[in-house]
Chains A and B, each alone.
Chain A
Amino acid sequence: MMQKLLSSIWVMLICAHSLLALPESDITPFMRSNIDLATSILRNTHLSKPERSGKIFAIFDSVFDYTLMAKLSIGAKQWESLSSEKQHEFTKLFEMRLKNSYMEKLDLYTDEKIVIKNLEKIKDTRIHLTTHLMKNGEVYEIIYKFYKTANAGEWMIYDVDILGVSIIQTYRTQFAEILAKEPFDQLLARLKEPEPADTKKASQ
Chain B
Amino acid sequence: MRLLFLACFFSLSLLWAANPTPQQASEDVETEFADKTSEALFDPLEGYNRFMTDVNDHFYEYLLRPTAQGYAYLVPESARKGLSNAFENLFFPIRFVNNLLQFKWLNAFEESERFVLNSTMGILGFRDVAAEELHIYAHDEDFGQTLGAYGVGSGFHIVLPIIGPSNARDLVGLAGDYWLNPLTYIEARDANMVDNTAESLGVTAFYMINRTSLHVNEYDSLKKDAIELYPFLRDIYESRRNKLISE
Contacts and interface: CB of A to CB of B under 8 A. Distances in A.
B30 A9 contact: no
B137 interface: yes
Interface string A169-204: 111111111101000000000110001111010000
B8 interface: yes
Contact of B244 (A108, A124, A151, A164): A164
A200 B221 contact: no
Contact of A164 (B8, B226, B239): B239
Contacts of A75: 30, 35
A104 B22 contact: no
A13 B11 contact: yes
A166 B239 contact: yes
B225 A101 contact: yes
B33 A72 contact: yes
B3 A178 contact: no
Contact of A177 (B34, B38, B128): B38
B236 to A, nearest CB: 5
A174 B228 contact: yes
Interface in B9-41: 11-12, 14-15, 18-20, 22-23, 25-27, 29-30, 32-39
A37 interface: no
Contacts of A9: 4, 7-8
B226 A174 contact: yes
B221 A125 contact: no
What is the interface residue range for chain A against chain B?
A: 35 or more
A177 B233 CA distance: 13
A54 interface: no
A68 B218 contact: no
B22 A153 contact: yes
Nearest to A164: B243
A180 B35 CA distance: 12
B182 interface: no
Consensus secondary structure, chain B interface: helix
A16 B217 CA distance: 50
Consensus secondary structure, chain A interface: helix
B242 interface: yes
Contact of A17 (B18, B61, B227): B18
Contact of A165 (B7, B8, B132, B235): B235
A180 B39 contact: yes
A10 interface: yes
A177 B37 contact: yes
Nearest to B11: A13
A149 B30 contact: no
B150 interface: no
Interface string A11-37: 001101100110000000000000000
A2 B1 CA distance: 8
Contacts of B240: 163-165
Interface in B189-247: 217-218, 220-221, 223-228, 231-232, 234-236, 239-240, 242-244
A3 B149 CA distance: 61
A158 B29 contact: yes
Contact of B37 (A68, A148, A166, A176): A176
A150 B25 CA distance: 7
A190 B227 CA distance: 7
12 contacts: A5-B4, A13-B8, A76-B30, A149-B26, A164-B239, A165-B243, A166-B239, A172-B36, A173-B37, A174-B226, A174-B228, A176-B35
Interface of B: 3-4, 7-8, 11-12, 14-15, 18-20, 22-23, 25-27, 29-30, 32-39, 61, 81, 128, 131-132, 137, 217-218, 220-221, 223-228, 231-232, 234-236, 239-240, 242-244
Q: Which A-B residue pairs are the 6 nearest by beta carbons? A: A164-B243, A13-B11, A125-B25, A150-B22, A137-B131, A176-B37
Interface of A: 2, 5-6, 9-10, 13-14, 16-17, 20-21, 68, 72, 75-76, 101, 104-105, 108, 124-125, 136-138, 147-151, 153, 158-159, 163-166, 168-178, 180, 190-191, 195-198, 200
